[in-house]
Amino acid sequence: MSNVKERILGAVTVMSEKDANTLWGIIIENFPSWNNIEEIAPDQFDLEMFEEIEKNPDCRNFISSEEALKELGL
């Protein structure tokens, strides 16, 4: 994954719902076809991944919003 994509994902992860909605509005305005993305149910791989996240304590290490923003250089 590129550095830009990592920074975008990181920023979205720590932003407020208000900011996320604002960003989504910008995306839809510039990429109208994204408004028609079909939602699909998780497949077996996804379900296994979710189960592993639930079981594995290493998947539960979180940092504060401030730490995430610092890490992302924002």
Residue 13 has pLDDT above 90, yes or no: no
Q: Which domain holds residue 25?
A: 3-72
The confidence score (pLDDT) of residue 22 equals 94
pLDDT in tens, 21-65: 999 999 999 998 888 888 889 999 999 988 888 888 777 677 777
CB 42 within 8 A of CB 50: yes
What local confidence, expressed as pLDDT, does residue 25 receive? 92
Count the Cβ atoms, other than its own, within 10 Å of residue 49. Answer: 13
Residue 16 in 3-state DSSP?
A: coil
Q: Total domain count for the chain?
A: 1
| pLDDT for residue 60 | 66
Query: What is the reported pLDDT for 47?
Result: 92
What is the amino acid identity at position 51?
E
Whole-angstrom distance, CA of residue 72 vs CA of residue 68: 6
